Amino acid sequence: MTQQTALEKARSAYQPKLPDSLRATSLAEKSPMPASSDAQIRDLFPHTFDLPEVIFIKGAARIEAKPIRAGVILSGGPAPGGHNVIAGLFDAIKSINPESSLFGFANGPDGLISNKGMELDAATIARYRNTGGFDIIGSGRTKLESQEDFLKAMDTVKARNLTALVVIGGDDSNSNACKLAEFAREQGSPLCVVGVPKTIDGDLRGDNIETSFGFDTASKVYSDLIGNIQRDAISARKYWHFIKLMGRSASHIALECALQTHPNITLISEEVAERGLTLKQIVDQIADVVSHRASQGEKFGTVLIPEGLIEFVPEMGALMSELNEVLAEHGEAFNALESLSTKREFVTGHLSSTSATLYRSLPDDIANQLILDRDPHGNVQVARIDTQRLLIDLVESRLKEMKAAGTYKASFSPQPHYFGYEGRCAVPSNFDADYTYTLGYTAALLLRENLTGYICSVRHLTRPAAQWRAGGIPMARMMNMERRHGKIVPVIKKALVELDGPAFKELEKNRDAWAKNTQFAFPGSIQYFGPSEVCDRPTITLELESAAK
């Protein structure tokens, strides 16, 4: 273990805030979920669909309960606060019964399938309190979804004599946690499975899940960096900064960062898809803003680009799904080819003529990135596509055309940036530190009640933490049927940016002014100690959504 920095020392002493209603004394209040006519999902989840909603309310006396022998998994990409979920879970199971124990499975679902990991004790947990990262046990993207995986998982559960499993993950991991909960009951096992909503992308949410953890910290880290770049832009007055921001599918991060920093241009993938904007239209819009600002003597600016944009541009989306199919079908022949140029030729030969023309028109490095390794779902890894460079190339070409036509006279100096990994393991903000500790605590209380198939739900998040309402809702209630790998399967629906939602409306209201004028905002870095209005403010998205309720 490396020596702790001064901030790490101070943070390890930070005691995350818990809702007043959440203690070992809390009582579980159950109320029926709204009626549902989704017979298909109900049939697929007969043991976990018709469960009540649970809210923990203040109780007076400690509730006696058996020891909980829990296993915990961190699944998918890291998100600030994961360690505090584990700390909250650990503290709560110990306060429920000191004989309780916690086993951390190594490297995500793999650890559960192969029965690898470590017993988590107080000394280990102490080193990770309020720190970023998932390194306490590691994470992984292996999917726990087949019957075989479930049987192996159940073998591990038996071998370790576990009574409970907590899955900390995104929409896919929680979908699979829900299936495992159902599978366990089907097998007659008493195992309780509880999910915790994680992802910096902010796309795992719903009526009862106001946000996923990590979104707050990650978007504040990116906003700090964007603000710094904007300060540089108005100081040096010479660069256009094209900034790609993480967010695999949804544009919540780009939207939140825009609300925090007021950039000149913010692309929102969901709007691009809704309006059917072509790449050319997007490029023309950016070039027009560049040109307008240059005519005002402002040859600088910022463009925010959500990571998933490329897939939402209709013609690019069509090309990418064709590429996914070609690579899935002809993977062996493709892998046997040596050079990237022959690989590009090979895939082009299998594309429709429209997609082939588009593919040929892309710069070589982008065309290469589109045929790189697939993720475990067989999809392009958009994090690896330099959309910011692609847009710079295309805007440069457009400005050349405009120059030739005499409609643009200035120079154009672009700078590409990609902010992703910079934010995923940051030291959690006070909000995320408190929220994640509360989520872990809530998971333990759901397990104390022997509840399975639940996802932790903490609401009223814009109020002081003492007033948050914590409980759980049946995960099966978040499921819908979707096509995945050619099959219709039950999964938790990804929550994309809603174009009629208050956060997007706020951007829409301001974006013309932000494009034409320079109204940059500089949020600065996350503050951990100091006045509450500086240190504890939630995201603007959350504030706007809560005000609109």
Question: Where does this chain bind ligand FBP (CB under 6 A)?
Answer: 76-77, 79, 170, 199-201, 246-248, 307, 382-383, 424
Q: Is the dihedral of CA 378, 78, 182, 495 positive or negative?
A: negative
CB of 426 to ligand FBP, least distance (A): 12
Nearer to ligand FBP by Cβ, of 214 and 301: the residue is 214
The 10 Å Cβ neighbour count of residue 127 is 13
Nearer to ligand FBP by Cβ, of 21 and 84: the residue is 84
Nearer to ligand FBP by Cβ, of 246 and 294: the residue is 246
Contact partners, residue 409, CB within 8 Å, separation at least 6:
294, 403
Nearer to ligand FBP by Cβ, of 418 and 514: the residue is 418
Q: 501 exposed, middle or buried (CB, 10 Å; 0-12, 13-18, 19+)?
A: middle
Residues 268 and 274: their CA atoms lie apart, in Å, by 10
DSSP classification of residue 55 = E
Nearer to ligand FBP by Cβ, of 216 and 307: the residue is 307
State whether residue 486 is helix, strand or coil.
coil
CB of 302 to ligand FBP, least distance (A): 20
CB of 60 to ligand FBP, least distance (A): 39
390, 446, 518 from 396: Cα distances, Å:
10, 56, 22
CB of 330 to ligand FBP, least distance (A): 24
The 10 Å Cβ neighbour count of residue 274 is 13
Note the Cα 98 to chain centre separation in Å.
34
Residue 155: both structure tokens together: 């073998």
Query: What is the residue whose two structure tokens read 């306060």?
Result: 95
For residue 432, indicate whether it is catalytic.
Answer: no
CB of 492 to ligand FBP, least distance (A): 12
183, 431, 492 from 40: Cα distances, Å:
17, 38, 14
Nearest-5° Cα angle at 486, 480 to 487: 45
Active-site residue, from 201, 203, 386, 434: 201
CB of 495 to ligand FBP, least distance (A): 12
DSSP classification of residue 383 = G
Contact partners, residue 187, CB within 8 Å, separation at least 6:
154
Nearer to ligand FBP by Cβ, of 308 and 474: the residue is 308
Which helix (H) or strand (E) element contains residue 72? Answer: strand 69-74
DSSP classification of residue 213 = B
Nearer to ligand FBP by Cβ, of 26 and 199: the residue is 199
Helices 171-186 and 147-159: crossing angle in degrees, nearest 10, is 70
Helices 540-548 and 502-516: crossing angle in degrees, nearest 10, is 130
CB of 416 to ligand FBP, least distance (A): 17
Residues 147 and 135: their CA atoms lie apart, in Å, by 29
Which residues have a catalytic role annotated?
Answer: 201
